[in-house]
Amino acid sequence: MKILGIESSCDETAAAVVEDGRKVLSNVIASSLEEHKLYGGVVPEIASRRHAESISGVVREALENADCTMKDIDAVAVTYAPGLIGALLVGVNFAKGLALASDKPLVPVHHIRGHIASNYISGDVEPPFLCLIVSGGHSHIVAVRSYTDFEIIGRTRDDAAGEALDKAGRTMGLEYPGGVSIDRLSPQGDENAFKFPKPKVSSSEYDFSFSGLKTAVINTIHNAQQKNIEINTADLAASFQKAVVDCLVTNLEKAACDRGFNKIVIAGGVSANSRLRSESKRLCAKHKWQLFLPELKYCGDNAAMIASQGYYEFIGGTIAGEDLNAYATMPIDKNYKTD
């Protein structure tokens, strides 16, 4: 079964064809990132306009690269939530038109479920497993019971890990996205140069809080500026990255031990982070747990992961009605219309 996936939740316009949820036949991404860098973050209206300009070409290229026409496609899967609403609407409406014109079923896909599926196209992992999802907008620990059954075990109470890295990076004067810049700079710094407080979250033992850490970095920079003291940015980047990854891995370890999981999956844009990758390998080696990480090319937003998850949603019976809408927020454990 061949699924055409379409993704437009943030600044990547993407389309891909994936066979049987696992075999990527094509994967095309057009990004407006360079334009957003000028503003230090994604500008929603620019993202929407770039999606509108590039979506037809991106979908055409994805079909051509897969050696397909719409006749060969079994269903169109599209990201409908969560994300920037104007950006999502471009993909959703394009997918609706395409599905109607070609008389194909339309499958709504949750963006974060898609990030988890980036592991299905990278390796041979199957649910159940425990997943740490870390992106620009989400930091979750989720028990993935089946391809379409999710239980949230921990979540961030404030900033997502990627968001905190991006904001801290901006204050350090690094290029957007800060998460990528911090990862690149950290090997040149001393990760023990700055000590940051371990955030305590009382409401749930598996929840995260990154805004205090982020503020601690920003205060360190502002204090140094006021006192005219020069800070080594590489030291600060390495220390902050260590603090963020420590929080992620500590809660992941606790959740896996308490809930009895021995299969661990990492997903989301921050899963590209070299320290998170090495620390999760260390953790899983210590406990003799199986670890699955997405290939680097599938860590960030792409449509192959949407087509993969779309396949599992489709065979599970999820098909969008004609009234499919886009949503800026949507919990990962909520199924389309059935809840």
| 4 lies in the site for ligand KG4, by CB under 6 A | no
| 91 lies in the site for ligand KG4, by CB under 6 A | no
| 253 lies in the site for Zn ion, by CB under 5 A | no
CB 247 within 8 A of CB 213: yes
| 301 lies in the site for Zn ion, by CB under 5 A | yes
273 phi and psi angles, rounded to 5 deg: -65, 130
| 180 lies in the site for ligand KG4, by CB under 6 A | yes
Token match 């993704």: residue?
Answer: 7
**From ligand KG4, Zn ion, none, interface partner of 270 (C-beta below 5 to 8 A by class):** ligand KG4
Q: Which of 179, 189, 294, 310 binds ligand KG4 (CB under 6 A)?
A: 179
Q: Which of 14, 255, 272, 324 binds ligand KG4 (CB under 6 A)?
A: 272
- Taking the least distance from each CB to Zn ion, the nearer of 235 and 301 is 301
What angle (nearest 5°) sits at the alpha carbon of residue 125, between those of residues 124 and 131?
150
| 185 lies in the site for ligand KG4, by CB under 6 A | no
Structure tokens of 150? 């999710």
Distances from the Cα of 313 to the Cα of 108, 142, 149, 257, 299, angstroms: 8, 18, 10, 29, 21
**From ligand KG4, Zn ion, none, interface partner of 154 (C-beta below 5 to 8 A by class):** none
User: Distance (Å, rounded) from C-alpha 159 to C-alpha 210?
Assistant: 6
User: Distance (Å, rounded) from C-alpha 126 to C-alpha 114?
Assistant: 14
- Min dist CB 296 to ligand KG4, Å, is 9
| 273 lies in the site for ligand KG4, by CB under 6 A | yes
Q: Which of 5, 108, 127, 269 binds ligand KG4 (CB under 6 A)?
A: 269
> Residue 260, exposed/middle/buried by CB under 10 A (0-12, 13-18, 19+)?
exposed
| 136 lies in the site for ligand KG4, by CB under 6 A | yes
Total number of residues binding Zn ion (CB under 5 A)?
A: 2
Q: Which of 189, 268, 294, 310 binds ligand KG4 (CB under 6 A)?
A: 268
Total number of residues binding ligand KG4 (CB under 6 A)?
A: 20
One-letter amino acid at 291 equals L
| 166 lies in the site for ligand KG4, by CB under 6 A | yes
Q: Which of 32, 135, 241, 273 binds Zn ion (CB under 5 A)?
A: 135
Q: What is the DSSP letter of 334?
A: P
User: Distance (Å, rounded) from C-alpha 237 to C-alpha 191?
Assistant: 8
Q: Which of 5, 114, 162, 294 binds ligand KG4 (CB under 6 A)?
A: 162
H-helix segments, 233-303: 233-259, 274-287
**From ligand KG4, Zn ion, none, interface partner of 137 (C-beta below 5 to 8 A by class):** ligand KG4
| 271 lies in the site for Zn ion, by CB under 5 A | no
One-letter amino acid at 92 equals V
- Min dist CB 137 to ligand KG4, Å, is 4
H-helix segments, the chain: 33-37, 44-65, 85-102, 111-117, 161-171, 178-185, 211-226, 233-259, 274-287, 304-315
6: left (phi over 0), alpha (psi -120 to 50) or beta: beta
Instruction: Specify the 3-state DSSP secondary structure of 123.
Output: coil
**From Zn ion, ligand KG4, none, interface partner of 180 (C-beta below 5 to 8 A by class):** ligand KG4
- Taking the least distance from each CB to ligand KG4, the nearer of 73 and 176 is 176
| 86 lies in the site for ligand KG4, by CB under 6 A | no
> Residue 204, exposed/middle/buried by CB under 10 A (0-12, 13-18, 19+)?
middle
| 62 lies in the site for ligand KG4, by CB under 6 A | no
What is the separation of C-alpha 256 from the centre of its chain, rounded to a whole number of angstroms?
21
Which spans of this chain sit near Zn ion (rule: CB under 5 A)? 135, 301
Which spans of this chain sit near ligand KG4 (rule: CB under 6 A)? 10, 115, 135-137, 162, 165-166, 177-180, 183, 268-270, 272-273, 300-301
